A = this chain, B = another copy of it.
Amino acid sequence: MQFNLDPRSQIPIWEQIVNQMKEMIMKGIFLENEKIPSVRELSSLLIINPNTVSKAYQELERQGIIETIRGRGTFVAERAPVENIDKQQVEKIREALKRLIVEASYLGVEAQQFIELVEEVLKEIGGNADA
């Protein structure tokens, strides 16, 4: 488990935690039903306020990615197979992707290089995707 938080980033710390936790779960660093650190543990580990961790955990729970069992702790939820892909959400991804590609292009990253970047990241994350 390795968090990489940047307090200067535009992305709120709680959201960075959400993103990185999702990534770690995808990579298999946390397994289904495994206990994750308590709010207090993680906040003292990351030297941030417990409320910030709490907000991240609540968001993860809302997304169905973790589950809280009262008085016991917080656990990685079992991942339900996606039934219907939410087209509206995918459209948002598409828009964000477009922005990213435009950015990349201005940096001098051509189409082919961008695809290579995508494949690289897919490989990095995919590690335990089918676990």
Contacts and interface: CB of A to CB of B under 8 A. Distances in A.
A107 B94 contact: no
A104 B100 contact: no
Copies in the complex: 4
A44 interface: no
Interface string A56-84: 00000011010111101000000001100
Q: Is the interface of A mostly helix, strand, loop or mixed?
A: helix
Interface in A64-119: 65, 67-70, 72, 81-82, 85-86, 89-90, 93-94, 96-111, 114-115, 117-119
A36 interface: no
Contact of A85 (B12, B26, B107): B107
A63 B105 CA distance: 13
A125 B100 contact: no
A113 B45 CA distance: 37
Contacts of A19: 99, 102
A23 interface: yes
B115 A118 contact: yes
- 3 residue pairs, one from A and one from B, having the closest CB atoms: A82-B108, A85-B108, A111-B122
Interface in A22-36: 22-23, 26
Nearest to A8: B67
